[in-house]
Structure 1
């Protein structure tokens, strides 16, 4: 084997990018340092004042409450699958994207359709999310374009919306769009085996990141904003350090855990638990401190499409799949304590967490999928 072959085998994926990236990475470093200090201090204080009995009562109260979760409403939205759901807390609107290329704005209380953007994409929409800084809506399509609706709630129903269209991935499907916690940047993942970092103000690409050998399906930002997790059809879950631009960790590198494509990722607020779900029906919890699998959650018997940790109590993991199940799992012992079946494949998941006057958290869950509907679950 030549020396050149050795270099290729040990290639360290790193994208220098333009000079502006130095300032961006410095800003991310400063932001994440402050967030990490607050997170670690909170964890230290919680551990210092930990009371096992009170903690047990708290967890039981959460699970007892969530065990009463039930289907409260269902609305047919589209003539094709509902592929993505996103909630804007600022506007109190629910956006629903469909494989027919349309986006629908819904009332999250009664699921009534308030506005429709017909043919926003000329092909399937795979991902959509709100920018909470300026209340614009970002959508990604199978034609490789990101469309940004700058004023989606204009009262003039017939007025043509102001839409910015970006040819982001050269006709390769966009599978996920995520905003950095600072909301200064966003990231797109594509079937062209790359993810890209974009500037929010200019909508300009900052750099393209290679490293995966197959389609990238999902992205997730670390709560501190320092790391980005990416995963897809190559079965490898990669962690990228946004402060340096380096690939720092490959999980499942020997493919002993996930045995088929990974479709969803999410970080827990504690900063060291990362969940992944895939078409091998596995929901895996990784502990980044140990750099290995912590637990395998038995929640689904078909492809897992979405996973989300609750932020308010940090004690529950929600997941959906092609088995039609919405599953709730305890983060204490990683046992699923509640399953709700919707009788058809679920493709999208969104949650709303609002504290009520008793300082308890009301959890509302929305799902969408092959039955072309949006379903609302509430206690």
Structure 2
């Protein structure tokens, strides 16, 4: 036998002994086994997320007791207990499927967590919640009908206006021309926007700022737990609201004003307060505390009706309150981590919640169902706001970006690399011409809603910008900062600047060419 033949024979002997190839096979089998276990665990968790569970902690305890497992573990809260039940049900489901494959016998009767079940678990709502949903439904249908009709008319008029058609009636021409002129006027004025006033707001960092519906006053809140009222005309303090024992994280004015302003505030003391403020002398007439959250409340927002209030919290839930009766109507779970923001769609039929789980959820207030989940941000979502068009909303995240989402397509349609630090606040203006954002990169920015082009950057702050807000006419913008100051932005001597602006080249022409045909 030649040398080559002896070498081949020796290799075959080694393979038969399993000294080399056997080791490789065992290593490969071990790796494949690890991958198989990881995939099984991933599949088990995926199936567990689809299991319907009762939201009431009492019912969760009953289900655990029924399965003869500990009702509660050391350091376990209601959410952890619910997730433990979810995992137990997933294991039961997996075991039942294996037994079914072996015996070819279908288990008798549906079980909790079985995807073949015909019964869905619901927590029964109160009569007040049923009445509120009916009222929201009727209001949203009316608003949606008017919004869609106006939008169709505006789009038709703009199309005819751009094509210079002769068959346009005077009313459509006036509508298209008016909308174009208002947008041009705002973009021109934005080029000259600067700081009109800068005020020291509190002894500790400011966290929120909001204009009242009448634009006569604005309110600021801070880590000191104090809310201060300011006169917009001279930027002087006109009132102080004290009541929270911890820092205040968010404030919101009711959209409707009668003889008094109604202001809501959310705090780290787990409470929400409603303040009634006299419109004439800005004195406090009444205050009410809403208790229910078990962790710090991060956001408060009024429903467009003005009768309901939504709050988001670190207890992983958002809640709906009746402002008139001061009663809690709804406790909504669904997020796996703390919530930072909840916002209402312009018609009032939908709510959008977002938080530290890097996702946003869309809720139908008329039925209580979760319609869709929106995933895409790489870090927690800190802020969310809905567009006046009714089908877009924006989210700002710690990943420094703003994402524009389409509710109809259920996906992100545009990503704005907006800031060089986390985005602390986003807000659509009521006229739909621009999106306002603030960031920890010490700036506020205005973005055109046609093409998402930058209109103006407001960069006079010396520290992190915590929040911003604009008046409904777009004349003023207010922003508050971590350095305990707030600033009022606007255009000084607008008539003179307008004449100069007509000769200056603007971004307008470039923006007018942009349309809503946006891509990733």
TM-score (norm 1): 0.89
Structure 1 residue 153 displacement after superposition: 5.7
Shift in CA distance, 148/57, structure 1 to aligned 2, threshold 3 Å: closer
Partner in structure 1 of residue 296 of structure 2: 173
Alpha-carbon distance between aligned partners in 1 of 2:181 and 2:471, rounded to the nearest angstrom: 24
Shift in CA distance, 226/12, structure 1 to aligned 2, threshold 3 Å: farther
Partner in structure 1 of residue 435 of structure 2: 317
Aligned residues: 363
User: Which residue of 313, 327, 338 maps to 2:445?
Assistant: 327
Q: Which runs of 4 or more aligned residues in structure 1 lie more than 6 Å from their structure 2 counterparts after TM superposition?
A: 4-7
1:162 aligns to what SS in structure 2? strand
User: Do the aligned residues in 2 keep the contact of 1:298 with 1:336 (CA within 8 Å)?
Assistant: no
1:305 aligns to what SS in structure 2? strand
User: Do the aligned residues in 2 keep the contact of 1:194 with 1:210 (CA within 8 Å)?
Assistant: yes
User: Which residue of 196, 204, 228 maps to 2:327?
Assistant: 204
Alpha-carbon distance between aligned partners in 2 of 1:35 and 1:153, rounded to the nearest angstrom: 28
User: Do the aligned residues in 2 keep the contact of 1:129 with 1:138 (CA within 8 Å)?
Assistant: yes
Q: Could you report, residue by residue, the CA deviation over 1:206-253 in whole angstroms, capped at 9, with x for unpaired residues?
A: 12100000111011100110000000000111000001000000011x
Mapping for residues 142-221 of structure 1, pairs under 5 Å: 142-151=268-277, 155=281, 162-170=286-294, 172-221=295-344
User: Do the aligned residues in 2 keep the contact of 1:136 with 1:152 (CA within 8 Å)?
Assistant: no
Alpha-carbon distance between aligned partners in 2 of 1:195 and 1:16, rounded to the nearest angstrom: 17
User: Do the aligned residues in 1 keep the contact of 2:383 with 2:396 (CA within 8 Å)?
Assistant: yes
TM-score (norm 2): 0.66
Q: Could you report, residue by residue, the CA deviation over 1:81-110 in whole angstroms, capped at 9, with x for unpaired residues?
A: 111112222472211111101111100122
Alpha-carbon distance between aligned partners in 2 of 1:85 and 1:155, rounded to the nearest angstrom: 20
Mapping for residues 155-304 of structure 1, pairs under 5 Å: 155=281, 162-170=286-294, 172-252=295-375, 257-304=376-423
The alignment status of 1:371 with 2:483, answered yes or no, reads yes
Alpha-carbon distance between aligned partners in 2 of 1:66 and 1:58, rounded to the nearest angstrom: 12
Q: Which moved more, 1:66-75 or 1:125-134?
A: 125-134
Alpha-carbon distance between aligned partners in 1 of 2:361 and 2:318, rounded to the nearest angstrom: 12
2:475 aligns to what SS in structure 1? strand
Partner in structure 2 of residue 340 of structure 1: 458
Aligned-pair RMSD on alpha carbons?
Answer: 2.4
User: Which residue of 260, 266, 276 maps to 1:140?
Assistant: 266
User: Do the aligned residues in 1 keep the contact of 2:313 with 2:338 (CA within 8 Å)?
Assistant: yes
1:33 aligns to what SS in structure 2? helix
Unaligned 5+ residue runs, structure 1? 355-361
Partner in structure 2 of residue 358 of structure 1: none
Structure 1 residue 59 displacement after superposition: 4.3
Compare the two structures and name the one with the higher strand fraction.
1
Unaligned 5+ residue runs, structure 2? 1-39, 54-121, 164-176, 492-520
Q: Which gives a bigger RCO, structure 1 or 2 (Cα 8 Å, sep 6+)?
A: 1
Mapping for residues 344-359 of structure 1, pairs under 5 Å: 344-354=463-473
Shift in CA distance, 152/146, structure 1 to aligned 2, threshold 3 Å: farther
User: Do the aligned residues in 2 keep the contact of 1:297 with 1:335 (CA within 8 Å)?
Assistant: no
User: Do the aligned residues in 2 keep the contact of 1:233 with 1:261 (CA within 8 Å)?
Assistant: yes
